[in-house]
């Protein structure tokens, strides 16, 4: 038997949710006495129900609203290098089956049995985001296991973002293994070439989650004019150019991101078909409308306007505003893609505000496609947060 400390659920908590796969214990569901509050963030404990029956092995963080995350259903499990390698090997095997080239999300946190840990692979390099205290503490062991399982030579820790703040973790950027790339790395995806800045870009340097939605947009983009709003490094715009769009216009507030988009277009031999606008997206859409500009395909992929339940109402209003402003920019019979990466806004709510915004923008529409993240971003059915991405494509009259 393990000699780990015990964290116990309150009598009114529902242990069956844990038994059925729900991976989190919130602070108001656990008995937090002086002993449990004194546990080191990222340490391990045995989770028990109110009747003292073990439910599994958890990692504990008394400083987080998510006080415990399930690591293993076996309360006697040992979380070490061997355990990490087994988890990574399982995740790697699926991606290796799905993708011809080593560019994908390798670990999608709870859905891959590694709570709070995100790993994106870029060929011979990998970027880890340890957004839970246990992963931050074991970052070097994770890096070693990653090298053993995948053979990558460079492992970068990107410890930035809102999730780390919620865990009480400081921001940090560190090269754990190998050397930092001296230049942005080319990433092939959907026939396009993207440039990923692993040390200075957003998140891990590139968003892999939109891959299937960009592939769908490509089917609309041949011989079309395309507007990519909130483009980052050219996600939808470069995909459209690879599919034969006559032109793509990328709008983003980041000059650095747009330079990477230009670099990707140059590598594709499509620099002459790419235009960029560095601006606040709402101001840019307003200006384009004032100029009477119209595009065959418009895609808007904004940041998470509703990252939490308290932000939901304001976030839904923002998504409706995006749809209202984007709709007039679509040529008659053209297509509008609207995306949300806010897990707090479910598909129904996002679809409703998108349709309402299109109507308020003076257009009628039919929904032709609903997309989600690719299979390298698996969804844990018990945890809605892992299925955060939604993409809606409309045809406008």
Can you give the CATH number for the domain in which 141 is found? Answer: 3.30.750.80
The answer to whether 176 and 155 are in contact (CB under 8 A) is yes
Of 124, 148, 177, the residue that ends a domain is 177
Ranges 15-19, 161-165, 305-309, 378-382, most confident? 378-382
The answer to whether 83 and 57 are in contact (CB under 8 A) is no
H runs (alpha helix) in 67-210: 81-98, 133-137, 139-150, 162-166
> In whole angstroms, what is the distance from residue 18 CA to residue 115 CA?
14
> In whole angstroms, what is the distance from residue 224 CA to residue 217 CA?
11
How big is the CA angle at 95 (ends 91 and 98), to the nearest 5 degrees? Answer: 145
66, 100: one domain: no
CATH number for the domain spanning 36: value is: 2.30.130.10
Tell me, yes or no, if 341 is annotated catalytic.
yes
Domain of 368, in residue numbers:
185-396
209, 172: one domain: no
> Tokens standing for 38?
């004194």
Q: What is the pLDDT of residues 77-113, one digit of tens each?
A: 999 999 999 999 999 999 999 999 999 999 999 999 9
Of 177, 195, 224, the residue that ends a domain is 177
> For residue 250, is it within any domain?
yes
Flag whether pLDDT at 205 surpasses 90: no
> For residue 149, is it within any domain?
yes
Confidence of residue 2 (pLDDT cuts 50, 70, 90): low
Flag whether pLDDT at 227 surpasses 90: yes
40-44, 54-58, 273-277, 342-346, range with the lowest pLDDT: 342-346
Our count of domains for the chain comes to: 3
**Burial classification of residue 326, based on how many CB atoms lie within 10 Å of its CB (0-12 exposed, 13-18 middle, 19 or more buried):** buried
Q: What average pLDDT does range 184-203 have in this prediction?
A: 92
> Tokens standing for 322?
């995006």
> For residue 1, is it within any domain?
no
> In whole angstroms, what is the distance from residue 326 CA to residue 322 CA?
6
> In whole angstroms, what is the distance from residue 186 CA to residue 197 CA?
9
198, 330: one domain: yes
160, 275: one domain: no
279, 352: one domain: yes
> For residue 203, is it within any domain?
yes
Strand partners, 174: 157
Flag whether pLDDT at 347 surpasses 70: yes
> In whole angstroms, what is the distance from residue 6 CA to residue 121 CA?
36
151, 236: one domain: no
Of 18, 41, 72, the residue that ends a domain is 72
34, 135: one domain: no
Return the pLDDT at 308: 87
- What would the 3-class secondary structure string for 251-274 be? EECCHHHHHHHHHHHHHHCCHHHE
306, 377: one domain: yes
36, 115: one domain: no
CATH number for the domain spanning 391: value is: 3.40.50.150
234, 123: one domain: no
Residue in 250, 300, 339, 341 annotated catalytic:
341
């Amino acid at each position: 038997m393990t000699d780990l400390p015990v964290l116990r659920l309150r009598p009114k908590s529902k242990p069956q949710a844990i038994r059925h796969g729900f991976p989190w214990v919130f602070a108001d569901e656990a008995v937090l006495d002086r002993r449990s509050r004194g546990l080191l963030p990222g340490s391990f404990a045995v989770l028990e129900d109110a009747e003292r029956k073990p439910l599994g092995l958890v990692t504990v963080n008394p400083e987080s609203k998510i006080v415990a995350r399930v690591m293993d259903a076996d309360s006697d499990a040992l979380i070490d290098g061997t355990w990490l390698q087994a988890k990574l090997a399982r995740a790697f095997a699926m991606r290796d089956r799905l993708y011809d080239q080593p560019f994908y999300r390798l670990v999608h946190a709870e859905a891959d049995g590694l709570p709070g840990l995100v790993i994106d692979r870029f060929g011979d390099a990998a970027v880890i985001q340890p957004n839970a205290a246990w992963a931050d503490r074991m970052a070097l062991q994770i890096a070693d296991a990653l090298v053993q399982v995948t053979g990558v030579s460079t492992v970068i820790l990107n410890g930035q973002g809102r999730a780390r703040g919620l865990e009480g973790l400081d921001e940090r950027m560190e090269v754990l293994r190998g050397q930092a790339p001296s230049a942005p790395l080319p990433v092939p995806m959907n026939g396009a070439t993207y440039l990923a800045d692993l040390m200075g870009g957003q998140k891990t340097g590139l968003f892999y989650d939109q891959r299937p939605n960009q592939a769908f947009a490509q089917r609309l983009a041949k011989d079309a004019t395309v507007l990519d709003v909130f483009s980052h490094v050219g996600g939808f715009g470069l995909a459209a150019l690879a599919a034969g769009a006559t032109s793509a216009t990328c709008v983003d507030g980041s000059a650095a991101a747009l330079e990477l988009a230009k670099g990707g277009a140059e590598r594709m031999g499509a620099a002459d078909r790419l235009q960029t606008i560095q601006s606040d997206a709402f101001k840019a859409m307003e200006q384009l409308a004032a100029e009477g500009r119209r595009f065959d395909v418009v895609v808007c992929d904004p940041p998470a306007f509703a990252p939490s339940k308290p932000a939901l109402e304001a976030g839904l209003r923002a998504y409706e505003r995006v749809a209202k402003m984007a709709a007039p920019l679509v040529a008659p019979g053209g297509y509008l893609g609207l995306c949300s990466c806010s897990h707090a806004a479910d598909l129904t709510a996002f679809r409703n505000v998108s349709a309402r915004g299109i109507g308020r923008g003076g257009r009628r529409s039919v929904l032709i496609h609903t997309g989600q993240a690719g299979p390298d971003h698996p969804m844990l059915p018990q945890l809605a947060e892992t299925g955060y991405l939604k993409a809606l494509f409309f045809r406008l009259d």
